[in-house]
Chain A
């Protein structure tokens, strides 16, 4: 007998329901998802993952059952956002800690293979590439004080509301500056982040 609060199997989506949900996503949903995954992947600098890798990983976990979709309780697109965030947060924590734990073994395609990843993230060339990218962004916004202050806040680990409070700006102002930052970053690589 399972635990009292176990989710009944019928609440989880079948493969066919997952496929149907993918087919029903709107153009805006798909573009937003693609951009979201691409940014999350870029946040994992050093892993060599792209946005498509995160999208694939989210779907594979859903279908394989390691991160199932409760179709009646959660919108499919929300499930994907949460799954992508979970995958990237987990990988990001490992990057930050400078080590790889066994949990990434479920990413069985070899991209997150422990030894290879460990040697890659400790690679001085990788660190230099990250520094170069930061310098490029700083240079791009050198004349934009507001974006510079926002970047400072982010690099100190501050949340959006904390930055708003620190800079004494409204939510709208914050969003406007973020949008300027985002568009500027996107322009570096064409429309795809």
Chain B
């Protein structure tokens, strides 16, 4: 038998059902591995060791009594953006110091109701702002994958860097992240795992600490497409506590998984080939396209003409919403308060927010405040809303002709965490992923190959709203055809 920590969820469930293994053993194996290696990565910021072992024993009882649920006894890591009842949740921000939510986010609640177990909380860019995981109050996360020829520390991507790294390092069976502009798909690509961003409204945002409400969506990191689908089945639900959650009938997203893609039309946007892009990525897309054709799909060149406005539009809208969403962290009711006796209310605000927020968060709050200011609103926020509509229309038009769109997930592979990038360069990391969030569509990133440094490369499939089943079916076909073995990557341990 393979090492326990390398097993897929589908395999773990099979083994648990046939009593070949216990949830306690699985959990213990992950805990041991985390304790042994995570100091090299810093992916977990909190381990729930005692509780999870107790819960694992209960799960084993449930298996014994034949009342096991869909994810019974499967240990998961959760991005610290999700509020977990009685477990400290800070979105890796100093300003939420010591905050212990008295409530559970809906997506994690769904997981626990299906029997999954909380191993611990995962590191992230503060308030999900970033694509490197260098912006965490709990310190940077290091990619478990390294180049074939160098020990240079690489970024895991962000903002769900901890979630991607933990899964890639076999520190959990799957992990939850969140995707506002690519925060699941980009780190999934950088770490060589599968990452899903569901349709906006598919998963409830209740209890998920808000960054940009109209773009935020919970997402999943998993070892393969099927595992990702299993977790997606669990976390998706209509929730009356979230007005933007959709009443769409929930279905089994795995129902068409193995039906192949013969006769399907897949669009290749001509705009997704940009200057300065890693040539290996281009090569991998071409190979993927060839494989899709071999599988019987028809490849159609399509155009998404407003794509290159995606990043600027995203950075106007997301920062505008963030500037307002983060106003509640004021030192009055919970979290950090920096104030001396006799300080005015304004002093309290200034001192608390000045020391509570990191630089990237401050930068985005200021940007967002600016674009909403009187006199600038029309030029920035309103215009960005219009462009957002155009970007969504681009997709609508294309989806009249094709079932799915294929693009690279990122223009480059994981880079060194000492590399000096300007903010704008960093922001352009999201160029292929943000249009999806702006249009509210589902997308998946799967690893398909490596670059010349043996670093993983991801491709992204984008499908129409609420067509996750089709998205998984297409991704699964390519995944099977490629047969990417991520254990051939170079790991730090």
Q: Do A and B bind each other?
A: no
